[in-house]
Amino acid sequence: MSANKESILKKLADAVINFDEAAAMAAVNEAISGQVDPVEAITRGLTAGIKEVGDKFGRGEIPLPFLMLAAQVMEKAMNELLKYVPEDKRPEPLGVMVLGTVEGDIHNLGTNIVTAVFTAAGFKVYNIGVDQPVENFIKKAEEVNADIIGASALMSNTLQQQKFLGEALKKRGLRDKYIYMVGGGAFPGEEWCRECGADDYATDVMIALEKAKNLIAERKKRKAKK
């Protein structure tokens, strides 16, 4: 690797680590003018930076807002770099996720955090927003060929919607097609996860990310054996 390319990759990583959007975009321009492979700039520059930020968050060294800032910086820089990558050369996402807040619930902070962090970690996330009926989750998942459906409920009186979604997937013969994850501030835990027919649950974004990665990996192994 040339010293110049190494320097640019480090600038990209450092910009994410320092939540510095201006530095990130300057490094992106430098990567483009210096003919650094944009895929490598994403995977070895930006991704290396967000991984370090995620590790720091996991160790309790930085608060959640900083993790979100870093994820937003990465997403903006990555979107700019992707303009220079043909569709067929773009890095495969870790997985495709449809995410939303259930019907009757208008809280979006949790889903916005998940969207930012999962996107930065390499997932393609379709956030369908708040107050979403069961049908909209399924329709979008079918449309984008999702791997994961994520349903958030922040109020105890909207939790039931998570169960309705699990039942609707089962009724339509789609339950095994998707990984179904639930979470949110009102979430009561393992027992409710089983009751609403979900594969797993989380109320912490980094735990959710690890669980999603593991579920995707298990799914790929099962498909490979068939």
**Count of structural domains, the chain:** 2
Residues 188 and 105: their CA atoms lie apart, in Å, by 16
Same domain, 24 and 127: no
Considering the domain architecture, whether residues 22 and 122 belong to the same structural domain is answered as no
Confidence of residue 210 (pLDDT cuts 50, 70, 90): very high
CATH number for the domain spanning 40: value is: 1.10.1240.10
Question: Domain check: are 113 and 67 in the same one?
Answer: no
Q: What was the pLDDT predicted at 85?
A: 85
- pLDDT computed for residue 131 by the predictor: 97
Q: What is the pLDDT of residues 93-102, one digit of tens each?
A: 899 999 999 9
Read off the CATH number of the domain in which 128 is found.
3.40.50.280
Residues 25 and 72 in one domain: yes
Rounded mean pLDDT of 10-29? Answer: 96
Phi-psi region of 155 (alpha: psi -120 to 50; beta: other; left: phi over 0): beta
More confident residue, 195 or 47: 195
Q: Are residues 16 and 61 in the same domain?
A: yes
One domain for residues 118 and 80: no
Expressed as residue numbers, the domain containing 28 is 3-89
Dump pLDDT digits (tens) for 58-71.
788 998 888 888 98
Q: For 1-133, where are the alpha helices, taking DSSP H only?
A: 3-17, 21-33, 38-40, 47-58, 64-82, 109-120
Q: What is the mean pLDDT of the chain?
A: 90
pTM of the model: 0.76
